[in-house]
Structure 1
């Protein structure tokens, strides 16, 4: 259920920003998700469909991109990205990795129609 409060925050921020810039319709909200954010984009979309009803964000589409998992190898010191299929350092194959990525999410951008559109 944490997606409900997150979705409300996303909606509040998006409405505020759109109105500051003369927005009359929010068409798309683009999110960047940290690899450990625990956010399920489909749930955000479902809650957004409910919460945005009757606002300029009604019908908005959520587009989410999950950021890669960034690590620093504690053996060779190099930074890289890993996947769930290959969790070792790509340079030295060590499993002694420091996670650099976070559990944050960012509202990357909004697609908004304004009075002049």
Structure 2
């Protein structure tokens, strides 16, 4: 259910930037989401279709880009890309792991339309 509040935040960010840039409409929104994020794309899309009604963002297409999780072993320093669930270090099998990336979630960019001046 936290996708609703996340989606509301996406809408607020996009409307703010669209208004600041004189947009008449937002057409596309590019989201970057880390592999370890608990965000579910379909849920965000579902809420988006509802809450964006009657806003500058109504009808805007959401584009989801997933970033892989990159981890580093604290024991041996080995860096690796996570292939599935959290796991031991494939080099030394230590459980002492740092997450370097994969928890991101942000609006990468938005595309807008502006009405032409007469």
The Cα of 1:61 is off from its aligned counterpart by 1.3
Question: Is residue 68–residue 102 contact of structure 2 (8 Å, CA) maintained in 1?
Answer: no
TM-score (norm 1): 0.84
TM-score (norm 2): 0.83
RMSD across aligned C-alpha pairs, in angstroms?
A: 2.3
Question: Which blocks of at least 5 consecutive residues in structure 2 are unaligned?
Answer: none
- Pairing 1:55–2:61 present: no
Inter-partner Cα distance in structure 1 for 2:76 and 2:59: 49
1:12-57: CA deviation from partner (whole Å, max 9, x where unpaired): 1101101111111111111111222211111111111111111111
- Pairing 1:83–2:96 present: no
Question: Is residue 29–residue 107 contact of structure 2 (8 Å, CA) maintained in 1?
Answer: yes
Q: 1:103 to 1:85 in 2, by over 3 A?
A: closer
Question: Is residue 82–residue 88 contact of structure 1 (8 Å, CA) maintained in 2?
Answer: no
SS class of match (1:56): coil
Q: Which moves more between the two structures, 6-15 or 67-76? A: 67-76
Inter-partner Cα distance in structure 2 for 1:70 and 1:63: 22
